[in-house]
Amino acid sequence: MSVQFSSEARKEFDELLTHYPYKEPALLPVLHLAQREFGHLSLEVLKYVADLLELPPARVAGVATFYPMYHFKPVGKYLLHVCATLSCALLGAEGVAGYLQEKLGVKVGETTPDGRFTILKVECVASCGTAPVLMLNETLIHHITKAKLDDILADPEAYVTKKKT
């Protein structure tokens, strides 16, 4: 099989299995692990996960597609998750998405041709007090302004690594 966990991921997988009395409950964390390893959950990856957990592939696909954080097509290196729910919307979420679309030349849900950025709209990320917010990969960035968006797009790595917040 061409899809396979690295030895490090395999170790993490084995550790995850020890958390549960049987294999199936490990599905969500294993899907997260697979997404981190392979970038997105292709059919091949879903089948691989199904084999590892001894589940029918359709079962794995049915569960994976329930949850918005899993991606089934390639996405950019940097995911720009724009929170679109009320507290953020009141303070400019539409403008955040609009400004990103204008700067990057792609729409929400699309990836820039160089494969660097994907814009995504997400529902409430539970940081309403610092609205509007944006999640860059797993890093939450507060009080978004146009100036801050310019800075994020110019140097996303500084935010991912928390040199800037």
Binding residues, by number, are 83, 88, 124, 128
Restricted to residues 42-81, the positions that interact with another protein (CB under 8 A) are: 53, 55, 62-63, 66-70, 81
Site track for another protein across 3-42, x = CB under 8 A? ----------------xxxx-xxxxxx-xx----------
Question: 56 or 113, CB closer to another protein?
Answer: 56
CB of residue 17 to another protein, shortest distance in Å:
12
Restricted to residues 82-141, the positions that interact with another protein (CB under 8 A) are: 84-87, 89-92, 94-96, 98-99, 122-132, 135, 138-140
Report the C-alpha gap between 106 and 137 in whole angstroms.
18
What is the rounded (10 degree) CA torsion for 37, 105, 83, 149? 100
Closest CA to 155 of 69, 141, 88: 141
Which amino acids are annotated as binding site for [2Fe-2S] cluster, given as ranges?
Answer: 83, 88, 124, 128
40 within 8 A of 72, measured Cβ to Cβ = yes
Q: Which two tokens stand for residue 46?
A: 């879903």
Report the C-alpha gap between 52 and 1 in whole angstroms.
12
Report the C-alpha gap between 19 and 6 in whole angstroms.
21
160 within 8 A of 78, measured Cβ to Cβ = yes
Residue ranges that bind another protein, judged by CB under 8 A:
19-22, 24-29, 31-32, 53, 55, 62-63, 66-70, 81, 84-87, 89-92, 94-96, 98-99, 122-132, 135, 138-140, 144-146
